Amino acid sequence: MENEKFAQIFLELASLLELAEDNPFKIRAYGKAAQSIESFSGSIEDIYKKGGLKALQEIPGVGQHIAEKIEEYILTNKVSAREKLLKQFPPKFLELLTIQGMGPKTAVMLRKKIGIDSVDKLAKAAKAGKLKGLAGMGEKKEQNILRGIELKEKSRGRFLLSEATDYAHALVEWLQKVKDIDKIMPAGSLRRGCETVGDLDILVTAKSSKKIMDHFVKFPEVAEVLAKGETKSSVVLKNGMQADIRVVPPASFGAAAHYFTGSKQHNIHLRELGVKKGLKVNEYGIFKGKNKIAGKTEEEMFKTFGFPFIPPELRENRGEWEAAQKNKLPKLIELKDIKGDLHIHSPATDGTDPIEKIAKVAKKLGYEYIAITDHTESTRVAGGLTEKEMLKHFEEIDKINSKIKGITILKGAEVDILPDGTLDYSNEVLKEMDIVLAAVHSRFKMPEKEMTDRICKALKNKYVKILTHPTGRLIGEREPYAVNLEKVLKVAADTGTHIELNANPHRLDLNDIYCHKAKELGVKVVIATDAHNADSLYLMYFGVITARRGWLEKKDVLNTLPLKNLLNLL
């Protein structure tokens, strides 16, 4: 069972307890546990099976009672506390909380007073004007609720990091037209490099904010203004994405940058440390009584508590504070460390740009090498080559290689792993290649054990050097196939095979958590774009930022090696 499932259960329990007006700290404890479980690397279910309740309680935020609930769910597929609350607050009623502006207090009040127990009923009542006049409800609240319901229908949830990045750039460019702006910086999950982004957070420093707010809500992509205040405004863009802006004085830049970058749990940790030391931490600075003692830079924020700078990608409360305390933060990989791209398709199969053009862009990126790795026979939809065609294709690459100066083109292929775990090319052909990639492109719905065995068998082929897009997921479009990645990584460690972090923003596969796991197990990661045209080589950025989220350093990534060392290793 996925960790996410457990996380959802505790998030739901937190909502249910809110409705029941239970102890707010208890509610927060459930929320905290949910977050901790979701980002836990390793399977919660395995932890329980190996170490029981005691092992579960090793997870931060999980104590006796939550551990017992996890146990109950594993054994009976139910949590009785949740079942009991769900009787009182059925799922349809719970859905009210997903509407912007509707919180537990309002939901409970509306049900008590006029029997509203679903979004449908709420919409009808609001349209009929039956809400105004109730406690704390007026004309505007009624309209806001209707708007919230509409917004929910339009909203697309989370967005790919790449899409959010594009909008953030456009918004920053728009804001730069205002005079008197000191700094503009996208913060939030975008700055942390999360694979999906819920909304854009833009931080601005300036002495006065009125003009900035006026200009912000006039951004041409704005569909609706949710709130507009003196220092903080929120809008919904035409694509359904929410964008928030916050203006603070220049002297508070560091504190605000830290605060608006998050994550929430990371921030709370710092504030709790503050409380223990008698300091108050907020978005304006660190305060001792009324005196501000830090806040101009992020470095200062960390230094005040004796920590080195923690890069944004690590701020998930996944051990970065402990590592910082011991001065054991990783020196994260950077884009400039990448020496080449090892997964590229050419027009020989489903790529669109000639190899010469790809090589030219790669040179511009400062690469020493690229690998052309086209599809093999079984991936017919992508025009996979037969062995004979592939060998002919290699002759073409040789010719281009001899013509082009300043970069080396490696010959390879993305070979299909057949359902029985064998490859669709013979070893005689594989040994002609500089680099062999292997991938699953068919029969995604195999049971976990079969899929795991299938992939592990392929890794044991001595010619296979890299497993590409290890789970086959497409973010928001296709679930990963059922595979025991931990087992795959262990086999990769044994066989000296490398694992791809596919940099395409739709894939980012391996994800951050398993990158970390790979590092722990001593498996080197290859960050590659899987480019089907020259422009896609620029997607390397998304791979690198994901690798940084997985705590990877230069030495953990294969394609940071200079050509000579790479060839030796292969």
Partner DNA sequence: GCCGTTTTCGGCCCGACTGTTTTCAGTCG
For the bound state, the minimum distance from the C-beta of residue 167 to DNA, rounded and expressed in Å, comes to 16
Distance CA 30, CA 248 (A): 32
By CB under 7 A, name the one of 104, 340, 351, 543 that touches DNA. Answer: 104
The verdict on 29 binding DNA (CB under 7 A) reads: yes
Nearest Cα residue to 525 out of 315, 338, 367: 338
Structure tokens at 85: 């609350």
- Beta-carbon neighbour count of residue 449 at 10 Å? 12
The verdict on 141 binding DNA (CB under 7 A) reads: yes
* CA dist 62 → 44, 104, 122, 273, 509 (Å): 11, 25, 36, 20, 29
The verdict on 180 binding DNA (CB under 7 A) reads: no
Structure tokens at 413: 């292929």
Stretch that binds DNA, among 131-139, 334-342, 353-361, 515-523 (CB under 7 A): 131-139
- Strand order of the sheet with strand 340-344? 340-344, 369-375, 408-416, 435-439, 466-467, 498-502, 525-528
For the bound state, the minimum distance from the C-beta of residue 97 to DNA, rounded and expressed in Å, comes to 7
Beta-strand runs (E) in 222-351: 222-228, 232-237, 242-248, 280-282, 285-288, 291-294, 340-344
For the bound state, the minimum distance from the C-beta of residue 215 to DNA, rounded and expressed in Å, comes to 15
The verdict on 272 binding DNA (CB under 7 A) reads: yes
By CB under 7 A, name the one of 15, 35, 39, 144 that touches DNA. Answer: 144
SS3 state at 546 = helix
For the bound state, the minimum distance from the C-beta of residue 549 to DNA, rounded and expressed in Å, comes to 19
For the bound state, the minimum distance from the C-beta of residue 279 to DNA, rounded and expressed in Å, comes to 8
Q: What is the identity of the amino acid at 504? A: N
For the bound state, the minimum distance from the C-beta of residue 393 to DNA, rounded and expressed in Å, comes to 51
By CB under 7 A, name the one of 41, 242, 352, 401 that touches DNA. Answer: 242
Element (H, E) at 176: none
The verdict on 301 binding DNA (CB under 7 A) reads: no
By CB under 7 A, name the one of 1, 53, 223, 275 that touches DNA. Answer: 275
Nearer CB in complex with DNA: 141/487: 141
Please name every residue paired with 526 in a beta bridge, in sequence order, or none if there are none: 500
The verdict on 194 binding DNA (CB under 7 A) reads: no
Nearer CB in complex with DNA: 281/540: 281
Footprint of DNA on residues 205-234 (CB under 7 A)? 227-233
Question: Which residue reads 């890299």 in tokens?
Answer: 466
In terms of DSSP H, where are the helices of 421-523?
427-430, 448-459, 485-495, 512-520
Size of the site for DNA (CB under 7 A): 64
Nearer CB in complex with DNA: 57/504: 57
The verdict on 240 binding DNA (CB under 7 A) reads: no
Stretch that binds DNA, among 250-258, 268-276, 414-422, 537-545 (CB under 7 A): 268-276
By CB under 7 A, name the one of 7, 9, 33, 407 that touches DNA. Answer: 33
Please name every residue paired with 197 in a beta bridge, in sequence order, or none if there are none: 159
Contact criterion met (CB below 8 Å) for 477 and 511: no
Distance CA 58, CA 47 (A): 10
- Beta-carbon neighbour count of residue 41 at 10 Å? 16
Per CB under 7 A, residues contacting DNA are 23, 25-26, 28-30, 32-33, 57, 60-67, 81, 97, 99-107, 132, 135-142, 144, 188, 199, 201, 227-233, 242, 244, 264, 267-268, 271-272, 274-277, 280-284
